[in-house]
Structure 1
Amino acid sequence: MRRRLIQIISAVVANPYLPSLFTKEIYQGKLKGFCVPVLNCYSCPLAIFACPIGALQHFFASARATLAVGSYQLGLYVIGTLGVVSAVIGRMACGWACPFGLLQELLYKIPSPKSEIPRFWSHFKYLFLAITVVLLPILVVDDFGYGQTWFCKWICPAGTLEAGIPMVTLNENIRGQIGFQFGFKTSLLVLFLGWMVLNRRPFCRTVCPLGAIFSFFNKVSIFKLGFDKDKCIRCNACYRVCPTALKVYENANSPDCIRCLKCINACKQNAVDYNLTMLN
């Protein structure tokens, strides 16, 4: 209950700009210069912060042009922000603050036949990170040396839900300009939403490039899970409550662990606890 409340508060804090509902314009103030460590679209009418994945793509998309003149502040800022968050809490932001993660958990509660995602699919998110966030923006450029934000433009369902559909709904001028790209992304969103009903946080586990970045630090972050293998009886209580379908005894600090801490309460053997590295 506490985690759910924090998730809701985080979503509201990141998206409080109600004037956009009347002005039909997104917030462009100073706060948009700051990234929140979650997937929350920059262009969402209610958003007041930037999305780190969008900012990272903009940096790589303009890397050839900006680095040539010695401008690299944006890249250092975004990488520094993600690095600090990752080093301290790993993927905990995914489990406690991400609005799109909250949506996936709520959709999974809808009664329906459930299925499991093949374990190796979790590696796909690293491909999305490498190809659509880094390589394509750098390598595919126009005559002026600028690339595109491929993940935002063609894939991100959070952007479609939080920004694309609301902006088209609110602004009739934009409504008259929609074409193949909007239809493609909307169809992709529908597929993702259906998948979220059937599987536990599938986007986080298989596609999300931000989750991929955070996952690199799960084993070395200051905050991590502690596991006592001598107490564990492998009853799978942790697996049954885990939003990302993990078994703690297989890998206590798996790259897919979002540090929701539900396994701690579920374990009747007290085999799982949290661990602050700097205090041990």
Structure 2
Amino acid sequence: MKRRVVQSISFFLHNGYLGFPFTKNLYTGPLKGLCAPGLNCYSCPASLFSCPLGVLQNLLSASRVLNWQVLLGPFLYVLGFFLIFGLTLGRFICGWVCPFGLFQDLIYKIPFFKIRLSLPKRSQKYLKHLMLIGLVFFIPLFLGDEIGYGILGFCKYLCPAGTLEAGYLNIIISSELWDYIGKLFYLKSAILLVFVFFVVIDYRFFCKNVCPLGLIYGLFNKVSFLRLNVNLNRCTHCKACEKICPVGLNPLEEINSVECIRCLNCVKICPHKAIYLEKGIYQNAISSSCSK
């Protein structure tokens, strides 16, 4: 319940511009120059902030035609943004802050058959890295449009949050946009429907297998200020934590894994409080007073 409240507050902080039904325009105020931590489309009419993945792609795209001296400041801002949020929270952002994470949680509640569809660990790892390296870095840097700027690969071809928040909401409030809908919009709509289907039957399918933003935050999980720890002296190996983990991890062996979204279900379920939330500089992920 507490996590859902925090997620809801975060959703409205990301999307707090309530004037869009009247202006039928995007918010362009000073907050739009800042990134919000979750996956939330810049072009959503309600969005107050920029998406960090979108900003990163735009900078890489612009580097094809603009002098690096012009882009140095924005690049340092984006780098600092990921370092600050990664080193403080890690993938806690995915479990508690991300608007698209909340959307997946709610969709999963639809009554339907449920099954874990996580790809094999190696394939899962490679797919997310492919999304990050290929769509977020390679395409903006090396594939240009008609005026020379790079193509925003993830935003243009895949991002389901962009299709849902920007695509559909914009055509709802501005009916004239229907005249500009083309094959790419239908393709992205099909991709969104595929993701929705898989999210209905498998909890956080997009987070586990695809999301490049979650991968970036996950790389900081082991060293972030806020992380999990295990006291093996208290653990009875009842496997309650493994059974409740929504992303299929074994917390005892994969504590602070890149895949862990920090939902804290394992902390709540553990009858002996062997798993706990730790705050501070990096230490061994398994309590130093314990040994296997």
Shorter-chain TM-score category?
over 0.9
Which residues of 2 match residues 127-276 of structure 1 at below 5 A?
Answer: 127-142=130-145, 144-276=147-279
- Aligned letter for 2:137? V
CA distance in 1 between partners of 2:131 and 2:224 (Å): 23
My pick for the range that moved more, 268-277 or 119-128, is 119-128
CA distance in 2 between partners of 1:13 and 1:145 (Å): 35
- Aligned letter for 1:114? K
User: 2:124 is matched with which residue: 122, 125, 139?
Assistant: 122
Residue in structure 2 matched with residue 103 of structure 1 by the alignment: 103
Q: Deviations over 1:243-275 (max 9, x none)?
A: 322220121111011112121110112210011
CA distance in 2 between partners of 1:201 and 1:278 (Å): 29
Q: What displacement does 1:278 show?
A: 3.0
- Aligned letter for 2:172? T
Q: What displacement does 1:103 show?
A: 1.3
Q: Is contact 1:66–1:72 with CA below 8 Å preserved after alignment?
A: no
Q: What displacement does 1:108 show?
A: 1.7
Q: Is contact 2:90–2:224 with CA below 8 Å preserved after alignment?
A: yes
Q: Deviations over 1:123-144 (max 9, x none)?
A: 1111100000001110112465
Q: TM-score, structure 2 length as denominator? A: 0.91
Residue in structure 1 matched with residue 89 of structure 2 by the alignment: 89
- Structure 2: give runs of 5+ residues left out of the alignment: 284-292
My pick for the range that moved more, 250-259 or 66-75, is 66-75
- Structure 1: give runs of 5+ residues left out of the alignment: none
Please give the secondary structure, in 2, of the residue aligned with 1:225: strand
Q: Deviations over 1:120-164 (max 9, x none)?
A: 243111110000000111011246541011100110000111110
Q: Is contact 1:17–1:45 with CA below 8 Å preserved after alignment?
A: yes
Q: Deviations over 1:149-187 (max 9, x none)?
A: 110011000011111011112112211110101100011
Please give the secondary structure, in 1, of the residue aligned with 2:236: coil
- Aligned letter for 2:26? I
Residue in structure 1 matched with residue 289 of structure 2 by the alignment: none
Shift in CA distance, 78/177, structure 1 to aligned 2, threshold 3 Å? same
Supply the RMSD in Å over aligned alpha carbons.
1.6
CA distance in 2 between partners of 1:239 and 1:46 (Å): 38
Q: TM-score, structure 1 length as denominator? A: 0.95
| 1:8 equivalenced with 2:39 (yes/no) | no
